[in-house]
């Protein structure tokens, strides 16, 4: 649990990073999470439309659902920081994120 000011800061940082990734062309058009105007629901609708077209064309479709709800808990933080660096995210911001992750891990 974090305080309200931390949540506000997280939101500002997320918006900045998403904008940087969008402007650099690093985000796929298939990215639905953390993207304005897209969500799990739009992702599911897009997938359902694709599956339906395959079935209508006579192909079989197998579907596997995965739950990534706790995926962030298992993200390698060094890899995360490296990916941010590779995508030209502001170095000071990366440093702040690194300190935040380290502090969260200790709690």
What pLDDT is attached to residue 1? Answer: 56
What pLDDT is attached to residue 105? 58
Tens-digit pLDDT profile for residues 22-78: 888 888 888 877 777 888 889 889 999 999 999 999 999 998 877 776 666 677 888
pLDDT at 24: 82
Note the pTM of the prediction, 2 decimals.
0.60
The single-letter DSSP state of residue 73 is G
Integer Cα distance of 36 and 30 in angstroms: 13
Residue pair 18/11 in contact (Cβ under 8 Å)? The answer is: no
């Amino acid at each position: 649990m974090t305080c309200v000011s931390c949540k506000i800061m997280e939101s500002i940082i997320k918006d900045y990073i998403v904008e940087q990734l969008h402007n650099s062309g690093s985000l796929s058009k298939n990215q639905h999470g953390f993207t304005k105007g897209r969500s799990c629901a739009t992702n599911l609708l897009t997938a359902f439309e694709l599956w339906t077209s395959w079935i209508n064309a006579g192909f079989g479709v197998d579907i596997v659902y995965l739950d990534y709800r706790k995926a962030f808990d298992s993200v390698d933080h060094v890899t995360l920081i490296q990916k941010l660096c590779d995508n030209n995210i502001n170095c000071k911001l990366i440093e702040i994120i690194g300190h935040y992750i380290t502090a969260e891990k200790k709690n």
